[in-house]
Amino acid sequence: MPTVYIHIGHGKTGSSWIQSSLRSSRESLASHSLHYANGPDALLTEMNLISSGNGTGLLSSEAEFGRRLSECSHAEGCSLIFSSEFLFKEINDPGVLDFMLPVAKQFGYQTIEILMLIRDPLEYATSLWQQKVKRKGETMEFENNVKTDIMYVQVHERVTNLLEYMDGKENIKLTIRNYNRCKDSLLEEVAQWLRVPASALVVPPFRRVNRSMTRGEIRLQMEFNRVLGICGNLISDPLCEKLTDIEPDRMMPSLAMQESYLKIISPNLARANAFIKKEDQYRFEPQTPTEETDSYLFKQEQIRVIAENVGGEILRLRTAQAGKDQEAHEMHRQLAHLTSENQRIAEDLKRLNEEVRAKSMEIHTLKMAMEKSGADNENSGIIHEVRHLAYRVKKHIRRTFHVIRKK
């Protein structure tokens, strides 16, 4: 029976690793009548690149869900796979769970299976803070950030609300796994969810995708954030994509902060655990805080990647500035030419005005002479010539003014 499989994250639970495997396993999955649908990550070819998966926006509206399913009509008879940690937020929006199954049935899919990974609160909080430093230009220290940002609490509220709403839903099955218990066997968990052998999923040739950072990397990114704002593309992205095997540093806040955080989120953890199998339930065990330091170590390969990316950006800006300087030089040259041309036109206009005044005097003199002598038919030719001359002068003046205005 064709099924719509939707992996919704949530954030900081290995989604990038899972998506890297799913992208590379399209052919193998197809042999099991599973289609990993096209999406925002369709053009990514390297397995280490960070993406948001193929499901971003899938559940943003009933119409969009239908549109995305209709795009997969070529995979008739196959079950569909979508994955994005952004779906965790979308599926919590009002009405989404109500329209999912009716829309899926319109396209021949009788069931929907959802995979949600959760993570123990302390590890989640430290990883989320690092992600904010990487991608959102965060400059606030970890403990202060946890105290002020609702995101650290909101995720557990959303998990609880989803679990309570899904309870008893027919034909929509929710599978929950705790990342802290299965992070070393993520692909096996995904394969089990999809009901395929583990061998159907390609194992990425590196340990992590979108790894956490070392203390030195975090501090350097934060200082760049203070100067430039959001600039993870300069430091953290290349470090995490190119040096996937660098071991992240353990980071843990003070015991006072841990106790305060637990007090806030414990009601939601208790409500959520009521719906979760014992082996996957949230755990909150106080851990030894890590000591602060003002000295940071970088390996040679880290320094090389930083120099390549920051230096490359400087070279790009230099090239762009050189192009702008050349453009400014050309505009200055054209301006000088126009100034010279305007001066010439002004001189021509001055000379023309003098000619007009002289011709006007001649016309006036002729008219006076004609009136004095009682102009006859013999003078009609002279009058005609005078009028023709005046017409040519006026026409020349109009043409000159037109040229000046155009310039």
7/137 same-domain check: yes
Q: Out of 51-60, 122-131, 238-247, 359-368, which region has the weakest mean confidence (pLDDT)?
A: 359-368
- Mean pLDDT value of segment 61-82: 95
pTM above threshold 0.85? no
Choosing from 298, 329, 350, the residue where a domain stops is 298
Q: Average pLDDT, stretch 196-207?
A: 91
Question: Pairing state of beta strands 172-178 and 111-118?
Answer: parallel
Q: What is the pLDDT of residue 337?
A: 82
Mean local confidence (pLDDT), 224-242? 94
CA angle 113, 119, 122 (to 5 degrees): 165
CA-wise closest residue to 17 among 251, 190, 229: 190
316 part of a folded domain: no
pLDDT level of residue 205 (50, 70, 90 thresholds) = confident
Contact between 172 and 111 under an 8 Å Cβ cutoff? The reply is yes
Kindly state whether residue 328 falls inside one of the protein's structural domains.
Answer: no
The yes-or-no verdict on residue 404 having pLDDT over 80 is no
Looking at the domain assignment, is residue 354 inside a domain?
Answer: yes
Per the structure, how many domains does the chain have?
A: 2
Are 364 and 262 part of one and the same domain?
Answer: no
pLDDT band at 29 (very low <50, low <70, confident <90, very high): very high
Domain-located, residue 186: yes
Q: Are 292 and 349 contained in the same domain?
A: no
How does pLDDT run across 280-312, given as a tens digit for each residue?
999 998 899 998 888 999 999 999 999 999 999
Handedness of CA 337, 340, 343, 345 (dihedral sign): negative
Same domain? For 369 and 238 the reply is no
Task: Let me know whether 286 and 355 are in one domain.
Answer: no
Same domain, 112 and 212: yes
- Position 241 scores a pLDDT of 87
Question: What is the chain's length?
Answer: 407
Does 39 map to a domain? Answer: yes
Query: What are φ and ψ of residue 44, in 5° steps?
Result: -75, 130
Could you report the per-residue pLDDT of 346-403, keeping only the tens digit for each?
888 788 788 778 877 877 787 777 777 655 555 566 566 666 666 676 676 667 666 6
CATH number at residue 202: 3.40.50
Is the pLDDT reported for residue 59 higher than 70? yes
* pLDDT at 222 exceeding the cut of 60: yes
Does residue 11 lie within any of the structural domains?
Answer: yes
Q: Calculate what percentage of the chain has a pLDDT beyond 90.
A: 62
The verdict on 389 and 256 lying in the same domain is no
**Which band of pLDDT confidence, cut at 50, 70 and 90, is reported for residue 259?**
very high
Chain mean pLDDT for the chain: 88
Its domain, for residue 352, covers 339-406
% of the chain surpassing 70 pLDDT:
90
**Whether residue 219 sits in one domain with residue 346:** no
Q: Range with the lowest mean pLDDT among 6-15, 223-232, 366-375?
A: 366-375
302 contacts 239 by C-beta, under 8 angstroms: yes
SS3 113: strand
* Whether residue 266 sits in one domain with residue 119: yes
Domain boundary among 298, 329, 354: 298
Say whether pLDDT at 42 is over 90. Answer: no
Q: How many angstroms separate the Cα of 151 from the Cα of each of 62, 178, 236, 243?
A: 26, 19, 21, 28
Verify that 358 and 248 share a domain, yes or no. no
Tokens of 355: 């000619």
317 within a domain of the structure (yes/no): no
Report which DSSP code applies to 272. H
Q: Residue 35 belongs to what H/E stretch?
A: strand 34-36
Q: What angle do CA 37, 39, 43 make, to 5 degrees?
A: 105
Tell me the average pLDDT across 52-69.
94
Q: Could you say which of 236, 265, 298 is where a domain stops?
A: 298
User: Cα–Cα distance between 86 and 211 in angstroms, integer?
Assistant: 18
CA-CA distance, 102 to 1, in Å (whole number)? 16
Q: Looking at the structure, tell me whether residues 108 and 250 fall in a common domain.
A: yes
Top-confidence residue, 151 or 280: 280
Question: Of 134-143, 177-186, 286-295, which gets the smallest average pLDDT?
Answer: 286-295
Q: Is residue 304 part of a domain?
A: no
Q: Tell me the pLDDT band of 209, cut-offs 50, 70 and 90.
A: confident
Domain shared by 54 and 187, yes or no? yes
Q: Comparing 49 with 224, which gets the higher pLDDT?
A: 224
Asked if residue 178 lies in contact with residue 117, where contact means CB atoms within 8 angstroms, the answer is yes
